[in-house]
Structure 1
Amino acid sequence: MKVCSYKGLSIVIMLRDEHCPPHVHVNAGAWSARLGFSFWHNDIQLWDVVPLSRRPPLAVLEGLCRSLEQPAHLRSARRIWWSRLQTVCLDNQLWDSHTNEVLGMKLVTDTTYRVATARYLPEEDKTLLTLTGASEGVEIQL
Structure 2
Amino acid sequence: MKHLKGGVEINVLTRKEHPPPHVHIEHQAQGWEIKVEFSYIENIATTYKITHLFGKLPTKARLNTIVQEVMSSRRECRDVWWDHVSDAGLANKWVVVNAGKASPATPNVAGAFSVSTAVYDDPTQSMKFNGIIVGECP
TM-score range, shorter chain: 0.7 to 0.9
Alignment: residue pair count: 132
Q: Distance in 1 between matches of 2:126 and 2:3?
A: 24
Q: Percent identity?
A: 23
One of 60, 63, 67 as aligned partner of 1:61? 63
The residue type paired with residue 52 of structure 2 is P
Query: What is the TM-score with the length of structure 2 in the denominator?
Result: 0.82
2:103 maps to 101
| SS in structure 2 of the partner of residue 26 of structure 1 | strand
CA RMSD between the two structures? 2.3
| SS in structure 2 of the partner of residue 47 of structure 1 | strand
2:82 maps to 82
1:51 maps to 52
Q: 1:126 to 1:137 in 2, by over 3 A?
A: closer
Offset, 1:43: 0.8
Q: Deviations over 1:1-25 (max 9, x none)?
A: x2x2221311001212100010000
Unaligned ranges ≥5, structure 1: none
Q: 1:86 to 1:6 in 2, by over 3 A?
A: same
Q: Deviations over 1:31-64 (max 9, x none)?
A: 1111000111121101122229832111211111
Q: 1:141 to 1:22 in 2, by over 3 A?
A: closer
Q: 1:137 to 1:15 in 2, by over 3 A?
A: closer
CA contact under 8 A between 1:34 and 1:48: conserved in structure 2?
yes
Following superposition of structure 1 onto structure 2, how do residues 1-142 of structure 1 map, counting pairs within 5 Å?
A: 2=1, 4-7=2-5, 8-29=7-28, 30-51=31-52, 54-70=56-72, 73-97=73-97, 100-103=102-105, 106=106, 108-130=108-130, 137-142=133-138
Query: What is the TM-score with the length of structure 1 in the denominator?
Result: 0.80
Over 6 Å off, 4+ runs? none
Offset, 1:113: 0.7
Q: Distance in 2 between matches of 1:96 and 1:37?
A: 19
Larger mean CA deviation between 90-99 and 76-85 belongs to 90-99
Q: Distance in 2 between matches of 1:76 and 1:137?
A: 20
Q: Distance in 2 between matches of 1:22 and 1:114?
A: 19
